[in-house]
Amino acid sequence: MRSGYLYLTPCRTPSDAVCLHEAAVPPAGGAEVPIIVRFSDLDAAVMHFHQGLHRSLLDPDRHVYRASMPQAAAVLDAIDLRHQRTYLSPDLADDAALPVAVERLRRSHRRVRRIFDWIGILAFLLLLFLSVLPL
């Protein structure tokens, strides 16, 4: 398990896409790097980010996704792993859609987690019930 930073940049080709990058040390934030997030488990974070935008994947080798910057930043910030946002550009911070999208994604993650918790509880109760039945 390696820790590090994930950050997004606008891609040159195609122009309506974002690129995900990894780094061991934090890059300089600015207009080219609107969000930087530090993760304890970098590989899992990349996997969760890909899961969030898997339908928008354009190039798996370069980590290019066709998504708007607020949408990709919301997916990156809503990952259910321990993380710390180290930089958010003022332009992205002023975008009212970002906190709404992050909260929507977090609600969706909680809903899925709750469904699987209930499935586990029901499976345990069924197993317990079947174990006390006389054969």
pLDDT for 15-61, tens place per residue?
889 999 999 998 887 778 999 999 999 999 999 999 999 999 999 99
Which of 14-18, 61-65, 105-109 has the lowest average pLDDT? 14-18
Nearest to 11 by CA among 74, 59, 76, 78: 59
123 secondary structure, DSSP code: H
Where b means 16+ CB within 10 Å and e means fewer, 6-16 reads bbbbbbeeeee
Helices (H), the chain: 42-52, 69-77, 90-94, 97-132
pTM listed for this prediction: 0.85
Residue pair 97/70 in contact (Cβ under 8 Å)? The answer is: yes
Report residue 6: phi and psi, to 5°: -115, 140
Phi, psi of 19 (to 5 degrees): -115, 135
